[in-house]
Amino acid sequence: MTAPAAWSEIFAATFGPRLGTLRPKLHRYCARMTGSVIDAEDVLQDALAKAMEALPAAAPIANPEGWLFRIAHNAALDFLRRRSRLADLITEEEVDMVVEPLSQTEAREIAATSLRTFMRLPVRERSSVILMDVLGYSLREICSITGVTLPALKALLHRGRIRLRDVAADPVERLLPVLSAAEKELLAFYIDRFNARDFDALRQRLADDVKADLVGEVVMHGRSQVSSYFGNYSREDRWRLGAGLIEGRPAVLVFEQGPNSSHPAYFVLLNWAGDMLHTIRDFRYAQYAMEAADIRILDLAISKDDRN
């Protein structure tokens, strides 16, 4: 068996700089398949790990992009099965059907469709529409990625487009989560100390077994390693933090000070064990996750009702 270090070398030689372009594209697909930019990153990392392990036996690969997408597609299906969402085991009828090209307006509408709306499509219809109408793959390429026959794919695209138009016209109202006073206080503490450049106060709140994941770059473990996480931030003052929700989850929103300061550049997820920081998940190097994220900016003012 090839050693993990060699897997990395073979993977880098095969994909090289292309992975920087492919990774956001793969995430875009996984986000629409799972309905979450956060879950999509988990699926993507799982797919890349599987690809790295499988590559030595598979090389040489005629179409590396298609091969990698097939692995990501299967990883997304595995994720959905684990979440008990795979409920559309359709019969692949051999239907002679022509897939009509979309108008520019229709293509823009589908590309802008929310993740929640895509999740209302059956899985195979969802996958087919995403690969063709969002990512621009051909029928033959989609057949190679998903493993369905060409007639079945045409049927899936036809039904998926119709269903997507129907559900997009009937949005589902979703209630916002209510944060407790404790959740607000922890989020406010982190944001306040960061914006004050008081990184020592944040280091003091690190749990002994803390983990910091700079998504797509490096993972740090333990207080000693994670203490250095704040080093780069301490050497620059262009970032300021705010509070928000990402897909209903409390999050730190990171704004770059300047002309575009009204919209966050990326986000950070925090998990606490009591009042100690247990996990930091920083999307600074995975800003592609913002493309379809459900983001809401929060006011962390604590009311009398929260305190009682």
pLDDT of 303 higher than 50: no
Q: Which residues on adjacent β-strands are paired with residue 253? A: 242, 267
Q: Which amino acid is at 150?
A: L
CB 222 within 8 A of CB 236: no
Report the pLDDT value the prediction gives residue 25, as an integer from 0 to 100.
93
Query: Which element (helix H / strand E) includes 88?
Result: none
Longest dimension (CA), the chain: 66
Provide the pLDDT confidence category of residue 237 given band limits of 50, 70 and 90: confident
pLDDT digits (tens, 9 = 90+) for 24-66: 999 999 999 999 999 999 999 999 889 888 877 776 778 888 9
Environment class of residue 276 by beta-carbon count within 10 Å: exposed (0-12), middle (13-18) or buried (19+)?
middle
Q: What is the rounded average pLDDT of the residues 87-112?
A: 57
Instruction: Check residue 207 and give left, alpha or beta (phi > 0: left; psi -120 to 50: alpha).
Output: beta
Provide the pLDDT confidence category of residue 89 given band limits of 50, 70 and 90: very low
Q: What is the rounded average pLDDT of the residues 180-197?
A: 93
Closest Cα to residue 266, out of 238, 295, 304, 237?
A: 295
pLDDT of 174 higher than 90: no
Environment class of residue 222 by beta-carbon count within 10 Å: exposed (0-12), middle (13-18) or buried (19+)?
middle
Query: Which element (helix H / strand E) includes 211?
Result: strand 206-214
% residues pLDDT > 70 (the chain)? 80
Question: DSSP string covering 118-149, please?
Answer: HTTS-HHHHHHHIIIIIT---HHHHHHHH---
pLDDT of 292 higher than 70: yes
